[in-house]
Structure 1
Amino acid sequence: MFGGGGGLNPRKMEQMMEQMGIDVEDIDAEEVIIRTAEYDLVFNNAEVTKMDARGQETYQVIGSPEEVEAGSAGESAGSDESDAGPSIPDDDVELVAMRADVSEDEARAALEDNDGDLAAAVESLE
């Protein structure tokens, strides 16, 4: 299409994109997770490029993903919780503790037992 074996010079390509109003930015991503209903695709150390063409942002991810069970990607990464359950926001714990007039530890346990459902947690404590 462009002729002359080997394609376009990257600098020339960048100049052409700039002339067309397309901004390109490399993103220093440590991990990219794509969640689907059946599985998660986890890209570690992926090359990520963001292209902004007049307000329309497009992301390009280059790498080899690992396919893992749906919802399991990133569960333990950065988690302060020692258990494998869902991370319960502190605001939810405080709200349940106040509503049910119990300690925050009891509220957190009730939220964990009810998969983070606020109403069910309060109901189980009353």
Structure 2
Amino acid sequence: MFGGGGMNPRKMQQMMKQMGIDVTELDAEEVIIRTGDEELVFSDAQVTRMDAQGTQTYQVVGEPETRERGAGEASDADAVDDADDGTTGVDDAIPDEDVQLVVERAGVTPDEAREALATEDGDLAAAIARFQ
């Protein structure tokens, strides 16, 4: 991207920050890429998120296991969390940052914010508007 071959990583990080680019390492347990006929499953992958100009780009580094599409999908009965708190995997797809933003802007509890985001398919503005 920048051709930083022998550049000091700290200096590269400073330059990227000055340009409005934020790089974050994610602690991912598993990454699944689904195509029309197969799934690529990365266990213990290194995942990096880069935020630049309002766009998020993800980089996945690791060795995938290939399996037939649908071979590892959970059934509806498996969708209940191991914590047995009655929540399903649907809410897990909502980023905590989005929940926190709704909590701050609408003055509601995290559970209320998460429910509104789930109802609004992750639309932040619509979730906040539900409480105004």
The interval holding the TM-score normalised by the smaller chain is 0.5 to 0.7
Partner of 1:73: 72
Check the 8 A contact 1:33/1:43 in 2, yes or no.
yes
Larger Rg: 1
Partner of 2:7: 8
The normalised TM-score by structure 1 is 0.55
Partner of 1:21: 20
Unaligned runs of 5+ in 1: 82-88, 90-126
* 4+ long deviations beyond 6 Å: none
Q: Deviations over 1:33-63 (max 9, x none)?
A: 0000110000001000000002110000010
Identity of paired residues, percent? Answer: 58
Aligned mates of 1:79, 1:8 — CA distance in 2: 48
How many equivalent residue pairs?
Answer: 79
RMSD: 2.7
Give the partner amino acid of 2:55.
Q
Unaligned runs of 5+ in 2: 81-87, 89-132
CA displacement at 1:75 relative to structure 2 = 3.1
Residues 38 and 80 of structure 1, relative CA distance in 2, 3 Å threshold: closer
The normalised TM-score by structure 2 is 0.52
Aligned mates of 1:2, 1:37 — CA distance in 2: 35
